[in-house]
Structure 1
Amino acid sequence: MHDDEIDLVDIARVLLRRKWWIIGTFLVVTLGALAYGLQQQRVYAYTTSIELGEFGPEEFVAGAASTASTISDRILLSTKRAFLQERDLESMPFDVSVNTPEESSFVNLVSEAPLEDQSLVAEFHKRVFERLRDEHQSRLSIMENQSDAKLKNLRSALETQEKRLSMLEELSVIRNKGSGDEGNVRAEARSGEENMQAELASTDAALTMLLSQLQLSERISEREQAMNELQGEIRDEETKRSWIKPTRAEDVAVASLSPVGTSRALIAVLGAILGGMLGLFMAFMVEFVAKVRESE
């Protein structure tokens, strides 16, 4: 039972006897990791932010999510094919990812590549952006044509309402004049006690004129309300027309301030840790082999 216990002194003696194995393994692995890190090219992230076109405040030509899907599923594929054929390449020297920040009107193209490939990344991002801009410009043109037709109809309807309102106002003036003349007739009828029938006819005519005047006032009010609504719709549509913004990208393939990916320092640290662990493993393995040989 006593022989199964781990003796720390014996472990320390093993480590001292096999120290050169530990040191050698540590140095080999650490120097290998350092050499690997130094051979790795510094890779930077290049970002192109595309702002979606607008046709009126908060009314975009296309949604950010649908635009990202369009780029990933269709535009990237055809653009890559043409890019590879022009440059006689078998595969793309870098990848392109598409992301959309939450609740924003931006779509980002992101690629990781060395500094010497920045011009290639910029050219490819520019082609993708131009394809998307052309598609959105076509949609903007359609929306402009629809807006022109809508404005034309609204202005025509407003002009019709204005004419009808003018006619009703003229009719109201004529009715008022007629009402005044009828009052004179009624006064004359009252002066002649012998003409009772004329007085009754005058009273009926006055009531009829009063009802007609109330109906005219109601129609005039309805026309004015309809005109106000049409004028509001025209102002809203004109505001949209003044807010037209095409899809745009201010900067193409902007490089990150520092390299991305695993840094050389981290590779060296991980190599040192791995070298120490392998060194201890090699020390005990060599000691074990030596014990086996002695027992034989």
Structure 2
Amino acid sequence: MEQPPRSTYQDDEVSLVDLAKILIRRRWWLIGTSVIVFLLAVMSTLLLQDGALYQYTSIYQQAEKKPSIPLNDSESLVQQVENLYWPNYQRSYKEENNVSVLPFDLEVSNPGNTILITLRSIAEEEVQGQVISLHEAILNSVVLHDENSLEKLKFKLEGNIELTSTLMERVESGDSYTAVEMAVNYADRLFKLESELDDLAKGEVLEYAVSGDVLEPTLSSSMIIVLGIIFGGVAGVIAAFFVEFVVRVRGSMKLDVIRSE
């Protein structure tokens, strides 16, 4: 099998000197691309500093039917906020302000083994007043829901207490064994009903849109600058070699055209 001329091998070989020559020849592409990427990184850090985000937290302690036992199921209340109160607020806000996206969000949770409902929003400081209005509207709905449930249960217990007291008074005048037994049962039931009534507790807002520390971005400014320098250098080298590749391909195509003529 015939071997190609040695000069062909030499033409195909690329040494470090050749690579250095390419980078020197295309140095403006190398420098320009690196500077552009670096400037983009700097602009990103400036934008992150201008738009500092804060976390606003509200905490509501639910109404209780017994100590540490919520009147309404905590998970059900969270779902009600997420699927009813919050969507309604978003719709009203968009209509009133003629916007498609709200400048804040809302996260609702019930920390495990507690009767607390937590509202969290992340937003810029300039919309703090709007975040407070949001939390106020949501908390008012939650409190009203709890108060209505509490009043219904309280009314029911008071009615049962009144009825039980009346029945107990009727049988207390009797001397028979049955009358005495019924009076004891009514007294026991009356005690339980009054205990249930005494255990009822209203809900309470413990924290109201309290502003926390500034939320740090995932990447710090210094890290973004370092990555900008690294990626800028890599992008500059790639750009220099790519331009050299394009120039050589065009030159080769022109040479082929000349030879064909």
Query: Which range, TM-score by smaller chain?
Result: 0.7 to 0.9
Answering whether residue 31 of structure 2 is matched by residue 36 of structure 1, we say no
Paired with 1:55 and 1:256, the residues of 2 have a C-alpha distance of: 32
**Pairing 1:80-229 to 2, within 5 Å after superposition:** 80-83=90-93, 88-91=97-100, 92-159=102-169, 162-164=172-174, 167-168=175-176, 223=181, 227=184
Conserved in 2, the CA contact under 8 Å of 1:56 and 1:239? no
Once the two structures are superposed, what CA deviation does each residue of 1:66-122 show, in whole Å capped at 9, x if it has no partner?
11221222222333444456x544343323232333343222222221111111110
Q: Which residue of 1 aligns with 2:33?
A: 25
Give the total of aligned pairs: 241
AA in 2 matched with 1:223: E
Report the structure, 1 or 2, having the larger helix content. Answer: 1
Report the structure, 1 or 2, having the larger strand content. Answer: 2
CA pair 154-271 structure 1, distance change in 2 beyond 3 A = farther
Q: Which residue of 1 aligns with 2:193?
A: 237
Q: Which residue of 2 aligns with 1:259?
A: 215
TM-score (norm 2): 0.75
Residue 232 of structure 2 is aligned with which of 257, 266, 275? 275
How far apart are residue 142 of structure 1 and its match? 0.4
Q: Which residue of 2 aligns with 1:73?
A: 83
CA pair 136-282 structure 1, distance change in 2 beyond 3 A = same
Answering whether residue 206 of structure 2 is matched by residue 250 of structure 1, we say yes
Conserved in 2, the CA contact under 8 Å of 1:158 and 1:230? yes
Paired with 1:9 and 1:106, the residues of 2 have a C-alpha distance of: 70
Aligned to 1:253, the other structure's residue is in SS state strand
AA in 1 matched with 2:82: S
Paired with 2:226 and 2:163, the residues of 1 have a C-alpha distance of: 73
Once the two structures are superposed, what CA deviation does each residue of 1:135-180 show, in whole Å capped at 9, x if it has no partner?
221111000011112222343454456444xx14xxxxxxxxxxxx
Aligned to 1:25, the other structure's residue is in SS state helix
How far apart are residue 24 of structure 1 and its match? 2.9
> What residue ranges of structure 1 are gaps of 5+ in the alignment?
169-215
CA pair 137-33 structure 1, distance change in 2 beyond 3 A = same
TM-score (norm 1): 0.67
AA in 1 matched with 2:209: A
Residue 284 of structure 1 is aligned with which of 233, 241, 244? 241
How far apart are residue 14 of structure 1 and its match? 4.0
AA in 2 matched with 1:62: N
Conserved in 2, the CA contact under 8 Å of 1:44 and 1:114? yes
Q: CA-atom RMSD, angstroms? A: 3.3
Once the two structures are superposed, what CA deviation does each residue of 1:120-140 show, in whole Å capped at 9, x if it has no partner?
110121011112211221111
CA pair 139-289 structure 1, distance change in 2 beyond 3 A = same
Computing the radius of gyration from Cα coordinates, the structure with the larger value is 1
Paired with 2:228 and 2:191, the residues of 1 have a C-alpha distance of: 69
AA in 1 matched with 2:161: L
